[in-house]
Amino acid sequence: MDNLATTNLSATSLATTLAVPFAAGFVVQRFLEILDPVTVKFIKDPNTKKTVLGLVSLGIGLVMADAMDLRMFHQLLGSTANDALNNWLDYLATAVFVSGGTEGFNSLLKFANYKKESTKAVADGRQPQASPDAPPAPARLRA
């Protein structure tokens, strides 16, 4: 399978690939915001409520990925494999992405920006900086 670094995705095709999963994630996020006050009446434990809402969002993500034939990673990786296992894994991964609401999309944008800056730094002969979300290196590894 090709990897994202070797796939020639233009900004337009990337935006097109991510637009529907982002919109679906937004729908899931809004639905959970509406459902949240209702669940408080039935589920008192915050950890149980979080687990239940997480499973609901994953279920909605699976239904949306299947119903709308969303195979986001298939497109991002430029995969031509069309076997049942690859499709199932792609639906599952896309459902997880969608179930995260806009948070998954924001994380993906941060990663893409980091990769762009890292590639630019390497091209300019500079040392790439660590991602701001990355944990600090252990003291024994720092210069």
pLDDT at 2: 41
pTM score: 0.65
- 17 or 31: which leads in pLDDT: 31
Q: Where are the domains of the chain?
A: 11-102
pLDDT at 105: 76
Helical H segments across the chain, by residue range: 11-42, 46-67, 72-76, 84-99, 102-123
Mean pLDDT of 6-22: 72
CA distance 103 to 44: 25
Query: pLDDT per residue over 70-100, tens digit each?
Result: 888 877 777 777 777 788 888 898 899 889 8
* Local confidence band at 123 (pLDDT 50, 70, 90 cut-offs): confident
CA distance 132 to 129: 9
26 has a pLDDT exceeding 70: yes
pLDDT above 70 as % of the chain: 80
137 has a pLDDT exceeding 70: no
